[in-house]
Amino acid sequence: MKKSWPNIFLFISFLISTSLNVMCQPSAKFQVIDDLGNKVTFNSVPLRVIALAPNLTEMIYELEVEDYLVGNTLYCNYPSAAKEITKVGDMLTFDYEKIISLKPDLLFITVEGNTKATYDKFTELGLKIFVSNPRNFEGIKKTFLDMGNIFKMEKATEEKVVEWTSIVDNIKKEGKKYPAETIMFLIEVNPIMLAGSNTFLNEYIELCGMKNIAENSTLNYPIYSREEILKRDPDFIAYPTGDKKDIKYIIEIYPEWKELKAVKNNQVLFLDWDLFSRPGPRFAQALKEMFIRLHPEEISRVGRSMK
């Protein structure tokens, strides 16, 4: 049978033309509500974004949309590729001219990490802002799912959230098998700043089946006296730090703390600051590490079942 090449070429040209028309058509508008309750409207997926907190940068990489990331902060160091992104500030102070020069379609900012003055300045400049405020695991999931909606990656985010939730639920179940021993989650040594109950850090404690000695504080990060710590005498101390510190560092400052149960029983946990201090996609990983550090006898079983 003789082929009609002109007709075939016409058909192929029609397909290409149709595909290009579909690709070039603007996406329908959509809205995503941020953690301030603002309805942020998008005409299309933002292709140039700036993340003004390390946890937000990590979420963007977790979603594998880092090609859209044109700016972040000096503290955005994970994954390592994030260090190479253009730096626009340190979370509290920013180079607004540089930010404007990057022509962002969207700025991701946080309530706890950034300031209201920063938010007001960006608003004044007419920049589109999406605010997140993850104060617990549910908040972390919401921020990640919001990003999935913004980047039209809903399925990928939902699958990740299911994976994280499985790990968290399993650890919560295992944590209930242990007596609720007390723990001090130390943020700063001098002054003595602890994680209060209204922080995502407290959720590490609760999910591991522990009791926070600062759980009754009305402050997110209350300050305690050295005498009060002696009085509360925690069974464990957790101290996320970016430096290579050990118990000698703490005892040099507060020599009387050598009488604490946590110190006498060698139950002081020095944790990775970046891993534990960021309400982001590594929350389940950090929780798993803390549970194993608190209950090392679980390492073989937990290591296998909670990947």
Is a pLDDT exceeding 70 seen at residue 10? no
**Collapsed DSSP state (helix, strand, coil) of residue 71:** strand
Structure confidence by residue, pLDDT tens digits, 245-300: 789 999 999 999 999 999 999 999 999 999 999 999 999 999 999 999 999 987 76
Tell me the CA distances in angstroms from 277 to 112, 134, 241, 271, one per residue in order: 12, 12, 9, 10
Distances in Å between the Cα of 306 and the Cα atoms of 160, 166, 180, 241, 298 are: 14, 8, 22, 25, 11
Q: Are residues 118 and 39 in the same domain?
A: yes
| In a domain? residue 80 | yes
CATH code of the domain covering residue 275? 3.40.50.1980
Query: What does 126-153 look like in DSSP terms, one character per residue?
Result: T--EEEE---SHHHHHHHHHHHHHHTT-
Mean pLDDT on 175-183: 95
Residues 51, 69 contacting (CB under 8 angstroms): yes
182 shares its domain with 296: yes
Model confidence, pTM: 0.86
Q: Residues 86-95: pLDDT tens digits?
A: 999 998 999 9
Rounded Cα distance, 196 and 223, in Å: 10
Give a yes or no: residue 162 inside a domain.
no
CB 214 within 8 A of CB 195: yes
Chain centroid offset of residue 227 CA: 33
Q: Are residues 184 and 100 in the same domain?
A: no
Residues 87/103, Cβ–Cβ less than 8 Å = no
Q: Give yes or no: residues 180 and 141 share one domain.
A: no
Cα–Cα distance measured from residue 271 to residue 269, given in angstroms and rounded to the nearest whole number: 6
In this prediction, residue 303 carries a pLDDT of 59
Expressed as residue numbers, the domain containing 58 is 30-152
Query: Which of 21-35, 54-68, 75-89, 187-201 is the least confident region?
Result: 21-35
Residues 201-259 pLDDT 10s: 999 999 999 999 999 999 999 999 999 999 999 999 999 997 777 899 999 999 999 99
Task: Say yes or no: 60 and 118 in one domain.
Answer: yes
**How much is the pLDDT for 297?**
84
User: To which residue do tokens 């996406």 refer?
Assistant: 27
Residues 249 and 140 in one domain: no
Q: Indicate the residue among 96, 121, 152 that finishes a domain.
A: 152
CB-hemisphere CA count at 13 Å for 300? 1
Same domain, yes or no, for 295 and 203? yes
Is there a single domain that holds both residue 184 and residue 283?
yes
Averaged pLDDT of the chain: 91
Quick one: 111 and 192 in the same domain? Answer: no
More confident residue, 125 or 12: 125
pLDDT (0 to 100) of residue 25: 42
Q: Is position 199 within any domain? A: yes
Distance of alpha carbon 149 from alpha carbon 45, whole angstroms: 9
- Checking if the pLDDT of 163 tops 70, the result is yes
Q: Are residues 201 and 299 in the same domain?
A: yes
Label residue 8 by pLDDT band (50, 70, 90).
low
| Domains held by the chain: number | 2
Task: Write out pLDDT tens, residues 94-109.
Answer: 999 999 999 999 999 9
For 105, other C-beta atoms within 10 Å of its C-beta total 17
Over residues 116-134, mean pLDDT:
96
Domain for residue 20, yes or no? no
Look at residue 215 and tell me if it is in a domain: yes
Same domain? For 148 and 197 the reply is no
